[in-house]
Amino acid sequence: MRLPGGRNGRGVRLVVATALVCAVTGLAAPGVAQAAEARPEPRDSAGSAQHGGPSGRPGPEARAGRSLEDVRRQIDRLYHEAEAATDAYNAARSATERQSREIVRIAKAVVAAQERMDRLKRQAGALARAQYRIGGLPDEAQLLLGRGGPEEFLRDANLARKGQQATKGLMTGLARTQKELDAYAKSASGQWRRLEENRERKAAARKRVEGRLKDARKLESELEREELERLRRMEAEEAREAQAKWLGSGVLEDIRGEASKRGGKAVAFATAQIGKDYVWGAEGPDTYDCSGLTSQAWRAAGRPIPRTSQEQWKQLPRIDIEDMRPGDLIIYHGDASHVGMYVGDGAIVHAPRPGRQVTLAGAGSMRILGVVRPDK
């Protein structure tokens, strides 16, 4: 993905990179629509655009007393809320899967401990029966009543001591195994409780996602075809402006890092998914959400990372943007609800939102929260 130009040609490289990102932003711009908080205030030119549909009748936004810019911002907010809820859904699903695996592990451990307990009980029973056959008499009584003399008594007493030691060992083993079983039962109970709690969280998050998407699609369905086209143009223009401002800061002058071996593999995987649909909660191979794409890309590179963008932000090492290199993950928005993978030359590959496809976009076309490096 590196464009021509070294340290002595950074000015040319910046111009070319700007052209590249502006070109691809036309494809990627709809995907940044969720960043309502990152956009500038509405311009009069957008708010004062015509309010009539192709038929000449008032457009839906006029009928509702709102400008197209207002409608767009509302749609952006709904998609952003849907993405945040998707992150919560993914987190709850991952926790549920993790707890299910732990419950299976505990169940297997319980079976093994119970088998050990049964074996110890059988041994204890056999030992008790052997002691019963001896008569269970005190050593002094065995000396007085014994017919074999002191030598045989001493031999029997030695065996008795060994039997007592064996009995003590068995009882200790039984107590320890019972303690293990009790601990497993307590742990399983806690895991089941957390499993149910996360199932409830997952169901609630799913309901929020579906509700926000339904509302956003309803708003979009009320727009005329011409208004939808204007909406996309507005999205694309704001994305281009944000990217141009980011590039104009000279940030690319300081970003010269080369991808690591694993980072290169992650980039290759992610860019190979371009054109595949965004589906919330999906992690491939045919559809992805934003963190599903980045987590699977790094898994393919041999470095598993957290599933959600928020956990990627919390758990992965953070780096300065000037030290960014291809393969690093850029986390977006104040709630860390979106993530893209830096591919070099001021661009990212990401899965934008429902109704869009995995695509390239300007790294600065959304509000950057920070950068993390999976293989630091």
The answer to whether residue 349 is domain-embedded is: yes
Tens-digit pLDDT profile for residues 159-207: 556 556 666 776 787 788 888 888 888 888 888 888 888 888 888 988 9
Indicate whether 110 belongs to any domain. yes
Q: Which residues are catalytic?
A: 290, 338, 350
Predicted pLDDT at 49: 37
Distance CA 62, CA 52 (A): 8
Asked whether residue 58 is domain-assigned, the answer is no
Report if residue 315 sits inside a domain.
Answer: yes
Element (DSSP H or E) covering residue 51: none
**Spatial separation of the C-alpha atoms in residues 221 and 189, rounded to whole Å:** 48
A 10 A CB-CB count for 8 gives 8
Instruction: Provide the domain count of the chain.
Output: 2
Q: Considering the chain, what percentage of its residues have pLDDT values greater than 70?
A: 71
pLDDT at 10: 37
Q: Could you give the CA distance from residue 16 to residue 42 in angstroms, rounded to a whole number? A: 29
Per-residue pLDDT of 129-166, as tens digits, reads 766 665 554 554 444 445 555 555 455 555 556 556 66
Whether 65 maps to a domain, the answer reads: no
Q: Does the pLDDT value for residue 223 go beyond 50?
A: yes
Pairing of β 359-362 and β 368-372: unpaired
Least confident of 25-34, 58-67, 190-199, 229-238: 25-34
Alpha carbon distance 246, 240 (integer Å) = 10
Write down which residue in 194, 212, 230 finishes a domain: 212
In this structure, of 135-149, 299-313, 360-374, the range with the lowest mean pLDDT score is 135-149
The first and second tokens of residue 55, run together, are 């038929």
Query: What CATH number is associated with residue 23?
Result: 3.90.1720.10
Boundary (domain end) residue, out of 192, 212, 232: 212
| Domain, as residue range, for 157 | 93-212
The last residue of one of the domains, among 212, 243, 266, is 212
pLDDT at res. 175: 82
Average pLDDT over residues 76-97: 89
Structural domain includes residue 99: yes
* Residue 43 burial (CB count, 10 A): 12
Q: Do 291 and 206 belong to one domain?
A: no
The tokens describing 234, both together, are 């507005």
157 lies in the same domain as 258: no
Give the Å distances, CA to CA, from 159 to 91, 138, 143, 321.
61, 13, 14, 76
Question: With bands split at pLDDT 50, 70 and 90, how would you rate the model's confidence at 242?
Answer: very high
Handedness of CA 178, 183, 189, 192 (dihedral sign): negative
- Supply the CATH number for residue 199's domain: 1.10.287
Work out whether the CA dihedral 155, 157, 158, 159 comes out positive or negative.
Answer: positive
Burial string for 102-124 (b: 16+ CB within 10 Å, else e) reads bbeebeebbeebeebbeebeebb
